Amino acid sequence: MSAWEAIVLGLVQGLTEFLPISSSAHLRIVGSLIGSGDPGAAFTAITQIGTETAVVLYYRRTIRDILVDWWKALRGDDGPDRAARFGAHRQNARMAWYIVLGSIPIVFLGLLLQDWIETSFRNLWITATMLAVFGLLLGWADKIGERRRTLQELTPRRAIAYGLAQSLALVPGVSRSGGTITAGLLMGFTRKAAADYAFLLAIPAVMGSGFFQLFRSLGDNPPPNAPGGLETLIATIIAFAVGYVVIIGFLKLISTHSYRGFVVYRLILAVVVVILLVVGVLTPLSGYFA
């Protein structure tokens, strides 16, 4: 991967991470089109550290309040009983536990399916299918969702449902934000609440996956097809800067508009990918995995 290819992929990551259109699918497709091949799951995970840092910066006050109240509950400020320590008296403390609970599915499945995530799941036929199927699901959820619940109404069961939806994003084309937002809409949450929780829930999983792949890339046995360190750093920094701007615009957009535009975009992209596969411009698996 050259420096200019890293710049392009960093822009793609920053532009698509927070939109319900699958950043991993776009990196997979664009990487092949510009000639660098499949950048790989490791590159994708590491560059997501940049966009997730943008989430931390944007939600910094919310995250601070969650962590402070969680710590107060854990040390027994609200009483020594188990209910108090699990946030019975503090909404932010409960939110911390919900994020932990919702992170379990993707951690478990990510470790269990690691080999498939880095190989078979990156097949572009699968990517195109997921873009279309989960685009339609997002549109359906946005249409039938009651959109009345706030995050105050989050429960352990709903947190797990969010987590299961997030874990589907291990397959390029699903979209981490798209999957979790779809689940939130189906459970009756407002568009803003669904997006807010989707972004907060992603922090542990994305940061954990990113640093795991980073340390793995620096080790004696780097993952197959891993790009160079400088190129990955360039892409990550660009992804952070662009991602921060995108997250602000996206949250403003969904407060007044539906997800219809994103659904249409996903369907068009899926059709384009299929056509490019059929005519041979793209191959289902590229680079190291071809």
Q: What pLDDT, on the 0 to 100 scale, is given for residue 238?
A: 95
Q: Residue 289: inside a domain, yes or no? A: no
Q: Is the pLDDT of residue 1 over 80?
A: no
- Count CA atoms closer than 13 A to 238's CA, side-chain side: 19
Expressed as residue numbers, the domain containing 73 is: 3-279
CB neighbours (10 Å) of residue 37? Answer: 20
Q: What pLDDT, on the 0 to 100 scale, is given for residue 28?
A: 87
Q: Residue 22: inside a domain, yes or no? A: yes
Q: Is the pLDDT of residue 149 over 70?
A: yes
Q: Is the pLDDT of residue 81 over 90?
A: no
Q: What pLDDT, on the 0 to 100 scale, is given for residue 75?
A: 87
Q: Residue 43: inside a domain, yes or no? A: yes
Using one digit for the tens of pLDDT, what is the confidence trace for 237-277? 999 999 999 999 999 999 888 999 999 999 999 999 999 99
88-127: burial string, b at 16+ Cβ within 10 Å, e else: ebbebbbbbbbbebbbbbbeebbeeeeeebbbebbbbebb
Q: Give the pTM.
A: 0.87
Q: What pLDDT, on the 0 to 100 scale, is given for residue 122?
A: 86
Q: Is the pLDDT of residue 290 over 50?
A: no
Q: What pLDDT, on the 0 to 100 scale, is given for residue 288?
A: 41
Q: Is the pLDDT of residue 289 over 70?
A: no
Question: What confidence category does residue 219 fall into, taking pLDDT thresholds of 50, 70 and 90?
Answer: low
Which residue matches tokens 């776009």? 26
Percent of the chain with pLDDT strictly greater than 90: 62
When mean pLDDT is compared over 44-48, 59-63, 71-75, 285-289, the highest value belongs to 59-63
DSSP 8-class letter at 26: H
Question: What confidence category does residue 132 fall into, taking pLDDT thresholds of 50, 70 and 90?
Answer: very high
Q: Residue 185: inside a domain, yes or no? A: yes
CB neighbours (10 Å) of residue 148? Answer: 10
Q: What pLDDT, on the 0 to 100 scale, is given for residue 86?
A: 82
- What is the pLDDT averaged over residues 166-193? 93
Q: Residue 284: inside a domain, yes or no? A: no
If one counts the domains in the chain, the total is: 1
Q: Residue 288: inside a domain, yes or no? A: no
When mean pLDDT is compared over 68-77, 103-112, 130-139, the highest value belongs to 130-139
Using one digit for the tens of pLDDT, what is the confidence trace for 93-104? 999 999 999 999
Q: How far apart are the C-alpha atoms of 14 and 246, rounded to whole Å?
A: 7
